[in-house]
Chain A
Amino acid sequence: MISNSELVKKYFRYNKKFPHIWCPGCGIGTILGCMLRAIDALELDKNDIAFVSGIGCTGRAPVYVDFNTLHTTHGRALPFATGLKLARPELKVIVATGDGDSTAIGGNHLIHACRRNVDITTIIFNNYIYGMTGGQYSPTTPHGDRAYTCKLGNIERPFNISALVEAAGATFVGRSTSYHTLQLQGIIRRAIEHKGFSVVEVITHCPTTYGRLNRKGGAVEMLKWQKEIAIDKTKAEKMSSEELEGKIITGILLEKELPEYCEQYDTIIAKARAAAGEKG
């Protein structure tokens, strides 16, 4: 596997002024690293990758890496990516989005992207909170947990992102955490290889806001917590529902083949051209 220094040299933008904007202990950099290692393992050409994001801490990921990068508006990464993919089907389009970005303001785009099955890989960085604005509850903040807009406890029920995208029709769903980096690399790799709309939900931590407000400790304690709650799918199948209480099932949760949008559109173009040719 590629070394850290090689990874930085190969994929980071030498002309972008560092340091990055993420807090010490943030999980986003780890997930970005896993994505880069997956891309490296697939030996993809950097010119063939479009990396698209929305707004928030996760939205800042594309600027640091040397691909075709697009930092869009809040919640809208997927429709931007959809237009780009239709225009350039040969590109590998990868979307990075947070829990608020993808399931609150961008929730409608997420479910419709799942339904359309455009060949886009979406990595959802789920840290249970709005980090950039300083710690407000998101659609994935657990019931009863605290945020600066629910200091007395969240009375809303959270989305289960993986279940949501599966129900909406995604043809690949994977889940991992920012602790399980090898598993995560593998899942992202498979998601990129998958022909169709793929979602990888990554459970991660925001020690600055969510961790502090909910007394979860620092980054190290929160990584340990991810280690404890994650149960691999194969192991989970042998466990009872009582044993799985409070756990998060990880691995490739769903993988199926269905006609991809751009390929279907190509047949529409062929039919329309044939009909136009007949008319002369």
Chain B
Amino acid sequence: MKKQPSYQLMQGNEAVAEGALAGGVNFFAGYPITPSTEIAEILADRLPAVGGKFIQMEDEIGSIAAIIGASLGGCKTLTATSGPGFSLMQENLGFACLAEVPLVIVNVMRGGPSTGLPTSPSQGDVMQSRWGTHGDHPIIVLSPASVEEAFHYTVKAVNLAEKYRNPVILLMDEVIGHMRARVSLPPYTMVERHNRVRPSMPPEWYNPYERSASGVAPMAAFGDGYRYHVTGLVHDAKGFPTSNPNEARDNLRGLFAKIERGFREICLVDYFEMEDAEHAIVAYGSMVLSARSALEQLREAGHKVGMIKLGTLWPFPRFALERYLPQLRNILVPELNLGQIYREVLRVNAGQANIEKLNRVNGTIITPEEILKAVKGVIR
């Protein structure tokens, strides 16, 4: 067994590919698109050596379709894309939500809308990642803020997809995807892996959508002797289409209930200097890097400022804010969009603290100095 070096220089996209391998991903289907292409290239090289498979599809619609098919065959699957490709994936993403098929989509965000700013950073897809596909549906969205975190969040994304039988989106911005940093990764054999629960009952007793006590139904792979039906139609516990109002309600409610039950485990949040904070920065992705630098300077200057770092964007970790709202006077939300998480913060805040936003959509980042200035302006 090859020993992992203790430190290595790695790009964010490379860390995602490594995280996929560490998490046990053995099937990737994708289509080239900047700034995510490195993930496909690396996995095309690396998957065959571990007995996995890579296929380059004709478009992103086919890419997500192929990983759904492979996931039903029992593989752990992942695809990587950026805005235009993510838009094309939306219909089949809804299929995976309703049919409860585990998979991971990495969206390395670039400036949008449309072809937008292909190689420039953006965080413009936050709301799309939540509501891009039609209809009410649950979704899990993680957003790493460093190269090392890109590795760990990818593993986490694979594990959550398997555990909750739900698509998970790893929402990175181009800064994290293309940034190179020194990382220390654990040996892959030491990485915790979660595998989907398989049915233990005989096939004739198996109802593919009958939820166990955990809220998630055991999932058989095609070919394992449990012949069952998978459809994008609203279905009953046997997986057969239904338009019975009670069965339709149970289907949709059940999708949400399983995620609500796992809410705390799904929500990744870190707190910086929050104990005595009177003002907070709420940040995610590359904005965390700028905010941390600003935070150090603000603390040195004696300002009681902290940061709530959102690792999970959806479901929105509202408890992270609620916990500190009574002590906070001001909150600043810096984002590389026109205020998408800002609205969530407003919603949870419900008028308690003063909420300010700091936004940019010109393809450049918000610097630590700009956050510093904005915070000083707010707390004055």
Q: Which A residues have a C-beta under 8 Å from some C-beta of B?
A: 13, 15-17, 46-48, 50, 52, 62-63, 66-73, 76, 78-88, 90-91, 108-109, 112, 265, 268-269, 271-273, 275-276, 279-280
Contacts and interface: CB of A to CB of B under 8 A. Distances in A.
A73 B231 contact: no
A71 B70 CA distance: 15
Given A108-B59, A271-B48, 4 more contacts: A76-B65, A90-B223, A265-B53, A272-B48
B117 to A, nearest CB: 27
B136 interface: no
A38 to B, nearest CB: 18
B68 A80 contact: yes
A13 B223 CA distance: 17
A16 B70 CA distance: 26
B161 interface: no
A50 B73 CA distance: 10
A62 B62 contact: no
A63 B231 CA distance: 9
B48 A83 contact: no
B70 A83 contact: yes
A87 B73 contact: yes
A146 B51 CA distance: 52
Contacts of A88: 73-74, 221-223
A46 B225 CA distance: 9
Contact of B240 (A16, A91, A271, A279): A16
A70 B235 CA distance: 13
B68 A87 contact: no
Nearest to B75: A87
A273 B50 CA distance: 7
A197 to B, nearest CB: 14
Contact of B48 (A50, A112, A269): A269
Contacts of A15: 238, 240
Contacts of B222: 50, 68, 70, 84, 88, 91
Contacts of A109: 58, 61-62, 65
A13 B204 CA distance: 12
B223 A71 contact: no
Contacts of A108: 58-59, 62
Main SS class of interface, A: helix
Contacts of B51: 269, 273
A84 B68 CA distance: 8
A83 B65 contact: yes
B69 A70 contact: yes
Q: Which of A66, A80, A81, A82: most chain B CB closer than 10 A?
A: A80
Contact of B229 (A46, A71, A280): A71
Given A47-B223, A47-B225, A83-B69, A73 B95 contact: yes
Given A69-B230, A71-B230, A109-B62, A86 B223 contact: no
B72 A84 contact: yes
B233 interface: yes
A72 B67 CA distance: 13
Nearest to B26: A87
Contacts of B70: 83-84, 86-87
Nearest to A276: B49
B61 A83 contact: no
B225 A112 contact: no
B227 A83 contact: no
B66 interface: yes
Given A47-B225, A50-B222, A87-B73, A73 B62 contact: no
B92 interface: yes
A182 B224 CA distance: 32
Nearest to A62: B229
Contact of A84 (B2, B73, B95, B240): B73
Q: Determine which residue in A47, A76, A112 has the highest number of CB atoms from chain B within 10 A of its CB, and name it.
A: A76
B29 A83 contact: yes
A272 B49 contact: yes
11 contacts: A17-B240, A63-B229, A63-B241, A69-B230, A70-B229, A78-B62, A80-B66, A84-B70, A86-B73, A109-B61, A265-B53
Contacts of A70: 69, 72, 222, 229-231
